[in-house]
Amino acid sequence: MRDYEPYYTEDGSVGLYSFADKDVYHSKFGALTEAWEKFVIPSEIKNQLDKNKEINILDLCYCIGYNSKALMSFVIDYKKNKLIKKNIFQKLSNIVSIHVNKFLSKFNKKLLLHIDSIQDDNQDLFKPSIYIDCMDINEELIKLSPMFKTIRTPGEVYEQFVPKILSCFDTYYKLKKVYENVASIFYPKNKKYINELLELKFKNMHIDKEYKINGLVNYILLNHMQRIYDKNYLSKDIKKILKERGTSKFFEKSLIKYARFNQIFGYNLSSYNVLSTFLHNIYYHTISKRNKNIDFKAAERLFNLNFYINDARKSIKLIKRKYDYVFLDAFTYTKAPQLWTVEFIAELCNHLNDNGIILTYSNSAQIRNTLLENNLYVGKIYNIKKDKFIGTIASKNKSKIKYPLNSYEIGLCNTTAGIPYHDPNLSFSNKEILELREYEFKHSNLMSSSKYMKLRSLRSSNE
């Protein structure tokens, strides 16, 4: 029986609440926003895409796939825009060459114009270049991940349509207030329990356009899932969850239909015409004008995804790949300490390229010290929109760290707050890991974090 419950985060995306751990899997302020701001944007993957090289990514604790989806969206949109620019340049160049030829032909001259530099091989843009290894212990969530939807809040829907109908300024805001009061009661249906539990309030917040998921991504993920699981993909348990009254509203119906179609007929066995017709009917609204310039099959060929469903400590030992990016998005370190130990981070370092980086949402002195103990250069993730630091970045290459830890933060790592978790053979239970740190904490000669902060505060006030 599942121990999680979907709910809507404040940016309109779906998050999960764990009843077992009494905590959220995702930020209650915005699951999708967090994926973009703490992983994809600070990765600066565009610099790697410009070099047109193979890129390897480890998505640790995939869950329902926000980090991978956001990354795939960025890559598809980047490749699409690059293709559009090339096609426009080709068309302009062809037009120019035609007019020049016409002009010169009047003087019986031949134009020797060779524009092979323009005729770029567009296929190179869409060759398989992004390898994503996804790790998670929950197979059910992995299977469901492509079908979760990102929704807009009632307030956003209201603001999109009503102002076009109502011309009266006062009436607009009066009706808006009534609408939001009613919507906050009935939408979502599980709000009364989950939202009160998380102290969430219904807010008319907007998802940044930059942070939305490209319409092709979930279909690409579904195809990968069905290649892996074949006829076992939509099991009875998965179908039951998709139909449950309390959870069905969190899934996209068109994606469910597409998964059923694939399960019955098989994606690879479907003729091109049948597949094209089906896709047109099922998710025409997804492949709209903004996506018509990129071929679905070409976009799909960009990615090679692998899923490892096991304890990540075991899975990491099976992999020989070196990574350019590691998205360390494990459950909070107090609830899942086995993925935040010095020894497990050491395994990640062994799988990290010389210029590779580890990204995590955690600002904890304990986690930062764990990275430092593995001889990594450690810094902070800066969010320019919010003008604050929102996570941690680490690398073997010092030049990859734009915002290194300052003296205060390094000093905090050297207090009892920075005592790391240990798991010598990568086999300890959570309880054993926590108890070992507790023992080290009690017998430590390090300064306490509270005393350190007081001393620093006094020092700064005296200066």
Three-state SS sequence of 258-301: HHHHHHHHCCCCCCHHHHHHHHHHHHCCCCCCCCCCCCHHHHHH
Smallest Cα–Cα separation from 396: which of 322, 316, 314?
322
Cα distances from 384 to residues 37, 41, 48, 74, 353, in angstroms, run 10, 11, 21, 18, 27
- What does the block give as tokens for 88? 């426009």
* SS3 sequence of 127-141: CCCEEEEEEECCHHH
- Map out the domains of the chain as residue ranges: 82-122, 153-206, 330-462
Distance from chain centroid for Cα 11: 14
Are 373 and 342 within 8 A, CB to CB? yes
CB burial string 356-387: b at 16+ within 10 A, e below? bbbbbbbebbbbbbbbbebebbbbbbeeeeee
Smallest Cα–Cα separation from 352: which of 324, 320, 375?
324
Distance from chain centroid for Cα 22: 23
Are 461 and 455 within 8 A, CB to CB? no
Determine whether 21 is exposed, middle or buried from the number of CB atoms within 10 Å of its CB (0-12, 13-18, 19+): middle
Determine whether 137 is exposed, middle or buried from the number of CB atoms within 10 Å of its CB (0-12, 13-18, 19+): middle
Residue 385 CB contacts under 8 Å (≥ 6 apart), including other chains: 37
Cα distances from 211 to residues 69, 166, 191, in angstroms, run 10, 30, 24
Smallest Cα–Cα separation from 296: which of 309, 284, 305, 311?
284
Run of H or E including 46: helix 46-50
The span from the CA of 270 to the CA of 284, in Å, is: 18
In the DSSP assignment, the letter for residue 334 is: T
Name the pTM for this structure: 0.78
The span from the CA of 393 to the CA of 382, in Å, is: 10
pLDDT in tens, the chain (463 residues): 577 888 887 777 888 888 777 777 777 678 888 999 999 999 999 888 877 678 999 999 999 999 999 999 999 988 877 655 444 444 455 554 554 455 545 544 444 443 344 344 455 555 648 999 999 999 999 999 999 876 554 554 455 445 555 555 556 566 666 766 666 555 554 544 555 555 554 444 445 556 888 888 999 999 888 888 888 898 889 999 998 887 888 888 888 988 888 887 765 544 444 455 455 444 444 444 444 445 777 888 889 999 999 999 999 999 989 999 999 999 888 889 999 999 999 999 999 999 999 999 999 999 999 999 999 999 999 998 889 999 999 999 999 999 999 999 999 999 999 999 999 999 999 999 999 999 999 999 999 999 999 988 887 766 6
The span from the CA of 158 to the CA of 184, in Å, is: 13
Are 148 and 250 within 8 A, CB to CB? yes
